[in-house]
Every structure is written in structure tokens, then in C-alpha cells.
Amino acid sequence: MHIIKHSKFKPRLSYKYKLLYDTSDAYYTAILNGYLNILSNSLHHLLLWFFKSKRFNIQVNPLFKNEFYIEFQFKGIIYINFVKLIIIAINLLKCIKKEVSPLREAYEQ
């Protein structure tokens, strides 16, 4: 995981998502607004482990019309360079090879 997170050769991700929502009660809509903003930022930071992302747009908007409504829109594109993908795979294989498993030690003796 460390190799993927700190790699210079990660694919690029450009995305934007928009979430419009409303519950039938303004109190629950306001509480949900806080949780959804935290969740969306956490999701963005999770994506940064695997992708480089410089162009992103996150919109989480409550409506407060006192009716149940959910609208979710997502647009995104992933730019993958095949050579970078091969380099990441080689680095992962090197990392896996360095790890010592108990079975490998038992068979080598």
C-alpha cells in the first residue's frame, strides 16, 4: 500500500460530482449535510492514494424544500499511461518478493 500511495507513476483522475438532496424534515437535512460533507472529503482523500487528482469538483447541496429528493451526478475520466502501469506492477512485485512468508522460510531449509 505504501508503494502505491507514494508512487510518482499514479494514473490521473479528473472528476466532478454533484449531490442534491432533501429529506422531509429540515433538521435531518441539516444533520445529513454535515455527514455527507465529511464523507465526500474522506472519499476524495481515499482516491488520492491510488490516483493523482488536480481537477475535481465536489458539490453537496441541501435543498430544504421539505420533500424527499435525491439527485446524484458523476462525471469523471481516468488517464492511464501503459508504461506507468507496468512500472507500478514491477514495483509491487518487488515489494511482494521482499516480504518473507513463513512458508517460504520452511521450504528453503
- The per-residue pLDDT of the chain, averaged, comes to 84
> Which pLDDT band holds residue 99 (cuts at 50, 70, 90)?
low
| Euclidean distance between CA atoms 63 and 88, whole angstroms | 43
Amino acid at site 83: V
Q: What is the pTM of this model?
A: 0.67
Domain boundaries, the chain: 2-108
Share of the chain above pLDDT 90, in %: 30
pLDDT, one tens digit per residue, over 44-66 is 888 888 888 888 898 999 998 88
